[in-house]
A and B are shown apart, each in its own frame.
Chain A
Amino acid sequence: DTEVTQTPKHLVMGMTNKKSLKCEQHMGHRAMYWYKQKAKKPPELMFVYSYEKLSINESVPSRFSPECPNSSLLNLHLHALQPEDSALYLCASSSSGTSNDNEQFFGPGTRLTVL
């Protein structure tokens, strides 16, 4: 199975809501990532988990809270978001979080709209 799955595909939420994005991979990868992508822009790294520990936080606002319950799952908890947080949120995984030449496998993304 060489697939990264993400749920939901689409999410509309108000600024006072709490929601979660989910990501799953069964490739035995030990690094997982969250990216944010605005229209016509490249993906921007948000968080990296390596061996289930948070290794990189790219100064992301605290209204985004990542969680890695186990090596196959990655969540992104959302709370009190702003309309400018509307974007495509991509999850990715790679085989190692310590080697620096791994390809990353991306999920299809969750299209988030904040009203």
Chain B
Amino acid sequence: SQKIEQNSEALNIQEGKTATLTCNYTNYSPAYLQWYRQDPGRGPVFLLLIRENEKEKRKERLKVTFDTTLKQSLFHITASQPADSATYLCALNTGTASKLTFGTGTRLQVTL
């Protein structure tokens, strides 16, 4: 069966540390992978997109890697802040153009 799993339902880290979130998928061959942030009661907000021929993408304190052999993406937030606390979702294109399937999500809590 096809799955997109994010390794932790919840992740607690201390302010200033690097948060690393994992997205693993099986039985897909996505051309790209996206990461979104979702705050409670709100819609997801796009953060980064990485294509299958890209190994790494950076945006400010965010870094994403994409390993199509391992079928895995890692999402890093460096120098984490309490304001980074949210649920983070990976999403893959899984079929026809524009169809996104979301991973299970990781709820990140950054404490002082």
Per-residue CB contact flags for chain B residues 2-32 toward chain A (1 = under 8 Å, else 0) read: 0000000000000000000000000000011
Name the interface residues of B54-112: CB closer than 8 Å to any CB of A.
89, 93, 96-105
User: How far apart are the CA atoms of A101 and B41 in the complex, in Å?
Assistant: 26
B interface with A by C-beta (< 8 Å): 31-32, 34, 41-46, 49, 51, 89, 93, 96-105
Chain B residue, CB-CB nearest to A6: B43
- B residues within 8 A CB of A109? 41-43
- A residues within 8 A CB of B49? 101, 103
Closest beta carbon of chain A to B45's beta carbon, Å: 7
User: How far apart are the CA atoms of A41 and B4 in the complex, in Å?
Assistant: 12
- B residues within 8 A CB of A33? 98
Residue of B51, B99, B105 with most chain A CB atoms under a 10 A cut-off: B99
Q: Given A100-B31, A101-B31, does the pair A50, B98 have CB atoms closer than 8 Å?
A: yes
Per-residue CB contact flags for chain A residues 87-115 toward chain B (1 = under 8 Å, else 0) read: 01010101011111111111111010000
Contact B97 A99 (CB under 8 A): yes
